Structure formats: structure tokens, C-alpha cells
Amino acid sequence: MTDNNTNNTGNSGGGGNAGLAFIIGGIVVVLAIVAYFVFVRGGAAPEGKDIDVDISVPEVSAPAVPSGN
């Protein structure tokens, strides 16, 4: 009777690392694209738009307080 136990101590967990590397690579690419738009392109809205916001509310007075006789 032959014992066919093999000991692969140097090659364990290789498949999971490939998937993790792919995910981290994708995250790095997305961050690079975001950094391009924020730092290189300025990240600001295009100039030339004049936005004028006027918030006018009517004057409201408090109701009269009843006398407590």
C-alpha cells in the first residue's frame, strides 16, 4: 500500500490572490480617473455661468400675546 500524501506548502492560496489583485487594480484605475478630473481639469464648474440667487421672504410678525389677568 502506497501513501500518496503530497505537501504543497509553497503554493497555497494562489487563486484567491489573482482575484484580489484584479479588484485592487480596478480600484486603482477608478481612483486615477477621479484624480485626473479633480486635479488636472480643476474640478470646478465651467466658467461663464452667472448665477444670481435672491432669497426674499416676507416679513412675518409674531402674534399678540394675550394678557394674563
**What local confidence, expressed as pLDDT, does residue 27 receive?**
96
Q: How far is CA 50 from CA 31, 42, 54, in A?
A: 32, 19, 13
User: Greater confidence, 50 or 43?
Assistant: 50
**What local confidence, expressed as pLDDT, does residue 29 receive?**
96
**What local confidence, expressed as pLDDT, does residue 48 receive?**
72
Tens digit of pLDDT for each residue in 5-49? 665 555 555 567 888 999 999 999 999 999 888 888 775 656 677
**What local confidence, expressed as pLDDT, does residue 6 receive?**
60
**What local confidence, expressed as pLDDT, does residue 57 receive?**
84
Show the cell assigned to 45. Answer: 464648474
